[in-house]
Amino acid sequence: MKITLAHSAGFCYGVRRAVKIAEDLANEGVSAVMLGPIIHNDAEIQRLGALGMETVDDPQEIPQGTAVVLRSHGETRETFSFLKTKGLEAVDTTCPNVSRIHRLVQQAEAEARRVIIIGVPNHPEVCATASWCKDPLVFQSADELCAYFSQHPDQAKKPFTMVSQTTSTQNLWRFCVENAKKLCTNIKFFDTICNATYTRQAEAQRLAQENDAVIVIGGRNSANTKQLYQLCLASCSQTIWVENAEELDVSQFAPGACVAITAGASTPAWIIKEVFDKMNTENMEIEESFAELLEKSIKTLHTGEKVTGIVTAITPTEIYVDLGTKHAGYIPVDELTDDPTVKAEDMVKVGQEIEVVVVRVNDAEGVVSLSKKRLDSVKSWDDVEQACEDHTTIEGVVTEENKGGVVVSVKGVRVFVPASQTGIPRDQPMTELLKQKVKLRITEVNRARRRVVGSIRAVSAAERAEKAAEVWNNIEEGKHYHGVVKSLTSYGAFVDIGGVDGMVHVSELSWSRIKHPSEVVNPGDEVDVYVISFDPERKKISLGMKDHSQDPWAMFTEQYHVDDTANVRIVKLMTFGAFAEVVPGVDGLIHISQLADHRIDKPADVVAEGDMVDVKITEIDYDRKKISLSIRALLDEAQRTDAGEEDAVVASSDGETTEVAPDFAEEATEE
């Protein structure tokens, strides 16, 4: 037969830690007892009992001066209070994952949120968790959760916090979350399923699909072993649950069958080995591989050590890593990367192998804090030094601003960029760069002092020079560009057309007469321009914005003719008259003699720039494109009309008529 051992079989770090603490106390001769079985495996509890570590079920039976070893599943708040009152020393072997759940439910209680626990109601872990908060709800399935809220619809809007028993399955948790989201309007979710449990279950399911039979080893009262058995049975009909080698009947397996072996978190290595020995009499190769696995599981980690593990879970705050040791590894999100714009899910995936460095080892809790960004930082120093030598461009994220400039994180290496090298004008704040991804060049590296200086402006200048060269290589008269207005002067606007600035003269900004470019554009505006002329030697480009497809003179001649009346805008005053805009781009002259029906000294006596006046078109020079306008002509017409009305025959009440002659007509003639 081909026998495959699950890498995750046997003690998890929490159980191993609890057993190790109990063993050490027994070997040191400390007077101590276990308050209930510290793990769910009768054979291991009997072994510890043989070492002198007895089990006591009732805390009242514990004599004074005796240390009390508390189970890995956690203990109730009441038990801790009782032991403290009696002055008994509590040796807490609670699994760190369970301790985290206790903190979460206490926090929920402080926030006046009711706790929902997904798990087996009478399980020691669930009972302990429930004691650390007020009036919790415990559901063993999604159906139970839905039934409760159907019977208590008034609870839907109340605040809840939902956690899970560490040995639950992801499927059950997912179903409960999906239903809770539909039923509750104010609920927080914390996926507290143990990562070791998740890894063990995933591996067991895979082995069940790949093999002819599966042996699940573990105590009958072990919840996680029960979950393993059920998951494997769903994929492999020949799944067998045994507590030890004595229960195993090897004859039930067909010759040449592929058999996988897995074990619950409370199953000690010696029981697993007994099962191996019984499965294969020629088991030297198996014994060696098992010994290697066991040695790896008890490997000691040291701060600063580089290790490799497998990502088992990703949460909003931490990334859990299976190091294959007795410790549970985790990477805080802020130790994953210095780039605040990157999400953890985009950097790592569950099942991915990852290399990290050990930051802190906590043997008491069986956890180890890891960092990826610190390892990346060490590797990045070489990249930064190489970039400085080769004058190459690298990318980083601006993480902070100070008086002298900004700090850019380049793969974990802090690079200082002086204010003069940021590319930001002096009158603008550098805060706009914060959390932005930028390109820069390294100008100085002092590894001994851990000092690195860079320049963002150098990259911008190089990119601009490259774009400018491309523009000059392809520029031609009449070519259109989409540009950005950079600055304004009294005589025009400078427009960046891609690395090169060209000028749009004020007369080329609009067909209408304007006094200043700001009447048409502002800095930062995106505009379409075309090349009027260019001088490669002097590096000057003249641009235009006016749309020449619409000829203003043609528009004027289509709309107006001689003797037509138009409403025009006075745009400029001269000593000899006033220019008025008839249509945008076409001006006409109102001679000083045509501004009024009487003599005036200067145009400003009767009109001002910006005034809208009615004029008569008296002459159009089509060849020279000039127009003569007159206000006086309209006034004369109005006077003649009034005079004509005064000459009208007026009928009297007795039928006689009287003719009135206009006296001013003679006066006008005399003048």
Which residues form the catalytic set? 125
Between vectors from CA 97 to CA 93 and to CA 103, what angle results, nearest 5°? 95
DSSP H helices, 187-322, are 195-210, 223-235, 269-279, 284-297
Between vectors from CA 590 to CA 584 and to CA 596, what angle results, nearest 5°? 130
Cα 316 to Cα 108, 332, 367, 567: the distances in Å are 18, 9, 19, 69
Residue 176: count other Cβ atoms within 10 Å of its Cβ.
24
DSSP 62: P
Strand partners, 544: 530
Map 436-477 to HEC letters.
CEEEEEEEEEECCCCEEEEEHHHHHHHHHHHHHHHHHHHCCC
Strands 32-35 and 67-70: parallel
Strand partners, 485: 495
Block residue for tokens 């380049």:
410
Q: 526 and 484 in contact (C-beta within 8 Å)?
A: yes
Strands 577-583 and 586-591: antiparallel
Kindly provide the residue ranges of all beta strands, DSSP E only, lying in 318-450, ordered along the sequence: 318-322, 328-332, 353-362, 367-371, 393-402, 405-410, 413-418, 437-446
Cα 489 to Cα 483, 504, 505, 515, 544: the distances in Å are 17, 10, 9, 11, 15
Label residue 130 exposed, middle or buried (CB < 10 Å: 0-12, 13-18, 19+).
Answer: buried
DSSP 279: H
Q: Is 567 helix (H, G, I), strand (E, B) or coil?
A: strand
What distance lies between CA 437 and its chain's CA centroid?
13
* Residues in the chain, overall count: 671
Give the closest residue to 262 by CA, choosing from 545, 534, 6, 618. 6
What distance lies between CA 397 and its chain's CA centroid?
14
Q: Going by C-beta distance under 8 Å and a sequence separation of 6 or more, which residues neighbour residue 394?
A: 383, 384, 387, 410, 439, 440, 441, 442
Between vectors from CA 142 to CA 265 and to CA 328, what angle results, nearest 5°? 25
Block residue for tokens 């523009």:
471
Q: 35 and 59 in contact (C-beta within 8 Å)?
A: yes
DSSP H helices, 476-631, are 506-509, 552-559
Q: Which long-range contacts (CB under 8 A, 24 or more apart) does 418-421 make?
A: 418/453, 418/455, 420/457, 421/454, 421/455, 421/456, 421/457, 421/458
Taking the C-alpha atoms of residue 73 and residue 198, their distance in angstroms, rounded to an integer, is 17
